[in-house]
């Protein structure tokens, strides 16, 4: 912030589960353009995976120190309290980015940008270009996805590199009835995500007709793992995913490389296992454990199915 500034610009990043929000935030932090950015992460689930994926834990478990001098705060203690902490560090920051839960409502979070010490800087909604048409038509999640899209001041279409021109045009066309916000295809210049003009009125969400929260309808289950996972077990786990699971993510130890941190991602039909540095012992599950995994499913999915599925990794 400059010496004369008194308000931190606050940008909200929203979008449905698996759209690529955490990837976007990581790109912002990797290329901050000289800005000092505070990132607030709102995980949906009992175990915070995203905050570990974004940065290394500091002495205060609710604040993560990143290599470029940015900070990442967990929202577990409550949004108001966390914003108070960030406000107290305003002299060290240039802006704030809030990553909303994948089933959250970006406009509701954007209201906080009008509290003392902050100023609205737009709502970016991340959309999976390969799945958005299917998601909007899904009777279980379509309303949630459409509401998120309607909250956007800017839409960012991810997985654009996997789609041909016809599929990209179709994805953009299906968004038009739900939002008048401009659409960018990823990867996008980080500078284009800041200083947005209001389109949907996300920062003035009180002006919208109230809608029921869809957050509680999704089913979440998490599990702390005791032993490193065999790759064959993980491959089988991917194959027998219960119907209704739309997102799973975890930080694990694999038995072939127990000293390394393996990141497991499930988003729609996409699955991946990547290595992300050495196992530090600060991951969920602690130094003696083997990590943790979180699964999220659409409304109506039996929670027992998620419990059984996650249990496969620890049997």
Last residue of a domain, one of 166, 198, 213: 213
Mean pLDDT of all residues in 82-90: 85
Query: Do the domain assignments include residue 2?
Result: no
Residue 93 has pLDDT above 50, yes or no: yes
DSSP string, 181-212: S-EEESS--GGGGSSPPPSS-GGGGGGSPP--
Domain closes at, from 162, 180, 213? 213
pLDDT tens across 13-27, in order? 999 998 998 888 888
Q: What is the mean pLDDT of the chain?
A: 80
Question: Predicted confidence band at 144 (pLDDT cuts at 50, 70, 90)?
Answer: very high
Percentage of the chain surpassing pLDDT 90? 31
Q: Half-sphere exposure of 200 toward its Cβ, with a 13 Å CA cutoff?
A: 34
**Do residues 206 and 223 both lie within one domain?**
no
Q: What is the pLDDT of residue 103?
A: 85
Using a 10 angstrom Cβ sphere, with 0-12 exposed, 13-18 middle and 19 or more buried, the burial of residue 304 is exposed
**pTM of the full structure:** 0.75
**182 and 275 share one domain:** no
Count of structural domains within the chain: 2
Domain harbouring 262, CATH code: 3.30.1220.10
Residue 265 lies inside a defined structural domain of this protein: yes
Which residue in 181, 34, 174 sits closest to 107, CA to CA? Answer: 181
Cα Dmax for the chain: 59
Of 213, 238, 255, the residue at which a domain comes to its end is 213
Do 237 and 257 lie in one domain? The reply is: yes
**According to the model, what pLDDT value does residue 44 have?**
56
Q: pLDDT per residue over 278-290, tens digit each?
A: 888 877 776 667 8
């Amino acid at each position: 912030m400059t010496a004369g500034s008194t308000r931190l610009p606050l940008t909200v990043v929203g979008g449905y589960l698996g759209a690529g929000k955490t990837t976007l935030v990581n790109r912002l932090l990797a290329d901050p353009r000289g800005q000092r950015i505070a990132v607030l992460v709102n995980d949906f689930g009992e175990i915070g995976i995203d905050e570990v994926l974004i940065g290394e834990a500091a002495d205060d478990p609710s604040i993560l120190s990143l290599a470029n001098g940015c900070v990442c705060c967990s929202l577990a203690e409550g949004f108001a309290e966390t914003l108070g902490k960030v406000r107290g560090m305003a002299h060290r920051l240039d802006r704030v980015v809030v990553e909303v839960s994948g089933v959250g409502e970006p406009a509701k979070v954007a209201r906080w940008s009008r509290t003392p010490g902050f100023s609205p800087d737009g709502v970016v909604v991340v959309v999976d270009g390969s799945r958005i048409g299917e998601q909007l038509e899904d009777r279980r999640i379509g309303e949630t996805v459409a509401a998120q899209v309607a909250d956007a001041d800017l839409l960012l279409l991810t997985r654009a590199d996997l789609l041909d021109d016809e599929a990209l045009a179709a994805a953009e066309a299906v968004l038009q009835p739900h939002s008048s916000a401009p659409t960018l295809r990823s990867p996008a210049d980080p500078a284009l995500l800041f200083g947005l003009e209001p389109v949907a009125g996300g920062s003035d969400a009180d002006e919208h007709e109230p809608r029921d929260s869809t957050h509680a309808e999704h089913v979440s289950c998490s599990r702390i793992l005791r032993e490193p996972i065999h790759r064959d077990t993980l491959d089988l786990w991917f194959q027998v995913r219960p119907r209704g699971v739309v997102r799973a993510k975890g930080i694990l130890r694999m038995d072939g490389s127990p000293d390394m941190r393996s990141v497991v991602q499930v988003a729609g039909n996409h699955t991946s296992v990547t290595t992300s540095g050495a196992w530090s012992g600060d991951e969920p599950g602690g130094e003696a454990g083997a990590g943790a995994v979180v699964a999220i499913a659409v409304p109506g999915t039996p929670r027992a199915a998620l419990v059984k599925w996650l249990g496969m990794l620890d049997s």
